[in-house]
Amino acid sequence: MNELSRPPQLQYGTDKKVAQRFSVVSSRQYYDAPQMFVSTKERVEESLDLRGSPMDFTIVLKYQDGVELRVPVAADAIRPDLAQLPKGYSLRAEE
C-beta separation of 38 from 48 below 8 A: yes
Q: Which pLDDT band holds residue 2 (cuts at 50, 70, 90)?
A: low
Instruction: Work out the pLDDT band at 1, boundaries 50, 70, 90.
Output: low
CA 31/CA 43 separation, integer angstroms: 28
Contacts of 16 (CB under 8 A, 6+ apart): none
Q: What is the pLDDT of residues 4-57, one digit of tens each?
A: 678 889 998 888 889 999 999 999 987 888 999 998 876 787 877 777 767 789
Q: Which of 21, 40, 12 is nearest to 48 (CA)?
A: 40
- Phi, psi (rounded to 5 degrees) for 5: -95, 0
Widest Cα–Cα separation across the chain: 39
